[in-house]
Chains A and B, each alone.
Chain A
Amino acid sequence: NAGVTQTPKFQVLKTGQSMTLQCAQDMNHEYMSWYRQDPGMGLRLIHYSVGAGITDQGEVPNGYNVSRSTTEDFPLRLLSAAPSQTSVYFCASSYSARGWNEQFFGPGTRLTVL
């Protein structure tokens, strides 16, 4: 199993550009989520999904869209990049949205917005 994969590993954007961060898992996990990690702050939840076709907002959703058309994939779209979105982004998955489960993290995407 590859676990949770993310692409790209690094990305530089100009203000106003759009892009999609890819996330995939091969563990048939029900729950998937996107976090951003900024210096001096804990990871913060952007969006999450409890199953294919079901998504919801987290703590810091503004400027980001998600969709979940399959169990495996959960892409994060930046609609119009801003310097405030410079961060490291992590995708994570867990077996179920019910109860508490081990979270599996992807390797992260380091995004810089100029």
Chain B
Amino acid sequence: KNEVEQSPQNLTAQEGEFITINCSYSVGISALHWLQQHPGGGIVSLFMLSSGKKKHGRLIATINIQEKHSSLHITASHPRDSAVYICAVSRAGTASKLTFGTGTRLQVTL
């Protein structure tokens, strides 16, 4: 079993829909990262969080440390949100070394 699991693997939504991507992990962590990878490959960091909730524009990330679970929400989705969203964890004691989930491929259509 992978230490970081994401669901769903693939997601298709219509423009304007509210989207949720889930991440569960089984190891002790110091932080959780959400990353975005657009077609063409570039990876950018969206959020780092160790507790609670963070918001940036239409993106919201939450984490529940007790349940070892995080969610990434996209409000009012747009075709430009189409990308692969990757969850990664900084394991406790090895903060800069990340363990990655396999990603969620999101397609937003008009």
Q: Which A residues form the contact surface with B (CB < 8 A)?
A: 31, 33, 35, 40-45, 48, 50, 58, 88, 90, 92, 94, 96-105, 107-108, 110
Check B96–A88 contact: CB distance below 8 A: no
Check A42–B100 contact: CB distance below 8 A: yes
Q: Which stretch in B36-44, B53-61, B62-70, B73-81 binds the other chain?
A: B36-44
Question: Given A40-B102, A102-B48, is A96 in contact with B96 using a C-beta cutoff of 8 Å?
Answer: yes
Q: Which B residues form the contact surface with A (CB < 8 A)?
A: 2, 4, 30-31, 33, 35, 41-45, 48, 50, 86, 88, 90, 95-103
Check A42–B45 contact: CB distance below 8 A: no
25 pairs, CB–CB < 8 Å, chain A vs chain B:
A33-B96, A33-B97, A35-B100, A40-B102, A42-B2, A42-B4, A42-B88, A42-B99, A42-B100, A42-B103, A43-B98, A45-B97, A48-B97, A88-B41, A100-B31, A100-B95, A100-B96, A101-B48, A101-B95, A102-B48, A103-B33, A105-B35, A107-B41, A108-B41, A108-B43
Check A101–B86 contact: CB distance below 8 A: no
Check B102–A42 contact: CB distance below 8 A: yes
CA gap between A58 and B98 in the complex, in Å: 10
When distances are taken between beta carbons in the complex, the residues of chain A under 8 Å from B101 are 42
CA gap between A50 and B96 in the complex, in Å: 9
Top 9 nearest A-B pairs by Cβ distance?
A42-B100, A100-B31, A105-B43, A43-B100, A108-B41, A100-B90, A100-B95, A31-B96, A97-B96
When distances are taken between beta carbons in the complex, the residues of chain B under 8 Å from A92 are 43
CA gap between A42 and B48 in the complex, in Å: 18
Which chain A residue shows the least CB distance to B46? Answer: A102
When distances are taken between beta carbons in the complex, the residues of chain B under 8 Å from A104 are 45
CA gap between A79 and B97 in the complex, in Å: 24
When distances are taken between beta carbons in the complex, the residues of chain B under 8 Å from A41 are 102
